[in-house]
Copies of this chain bind each other. A is one copy, B any other.
């Protein structure tokens, strides 16, 4: 399976990701993308910006393990994961996951599983600039629950 993992401060382009997936993963039929962006409010407070920190080396290794798990479960043609780090503004792109597959149901499922694992297993941390001051975000229980659902379905991670 074609794969590309990138941790970068620069923005990304979905059109370029689609071009690369087409070029490197044959004629897959369908591609599912998920893009996460910086919200302008959180916990009922205005958010003026975000700073994203990560664990260089481990982050890339974790993302590779997540793609391994997805590839083991579904017949995929290609996948890209791009995650931004550093200072971001409300509305900015944070993360892109794109999965190409012959059948669209598999592209949707794999893309969602990769996002769910990324949220709980990839070593990124967000610090938010809010009106009441800067604060590190807390992990969400709901993200942990989603992971348990995949585990029950037999994802090997």
Chain A residues at the B interface, C-beta cutoff of 8 Å? 13-15, 18, 22, 26-41, 90-91, 93, 104-105, 107-108, 111-112, 115, 146
Chain B residues near A29: list those with CB within 8 A: 36-37, 39
Give the docked Cα–Cα distance between A91 and B31 (Å): 12
CA A143 to CA B115, docked complex, whole Å: 25
Interface majority SS on A: helix, strand, loop or mixed? Answer: mixed
A104/B34 contact (C-beta < 8 A), A15-B15, A18-B14, A22-B91 known: yes
Kindly list 18 other residue pairs between chains A and B, CB separation below 8 angstroms, not including A30-B34, A31-B33, A33-B33.
A14-B14, A14-B33, A15-B15, A18-B35, A18-B93, A22-B91, A26-B40, A27-B91, A28-B39, A29-B36, A29-B37, A31-B37, A32-B33, A32-B111, A34-B107, A104-B115, A105-B112, A108-B112
What are 16 contact pairs spanning A and B, CB under 8 A?
A14-B14, A14-B15, A14-B18, A14-B33, A22-B91, A27-B37, A27-B39, A27-B91, A28-B37, A30-B36, A31-B35, A34-B107, A104-B112, A105-B146, A108-B108, A108-B112
Counted per complex, copies of this chain come to 2
Contact flag A37-B33 (CB < 8 Å), given A15-B14, A22-B91, A104-B115: no
Closest to A31 in B: B35
A40 smallest CB distance to B (angstroms): 4
- State the CA gap A27–B47 with chains docked (Å): 11
User: Contact at B90–A34, with CB atoms within 8 Å?
Assistant: no
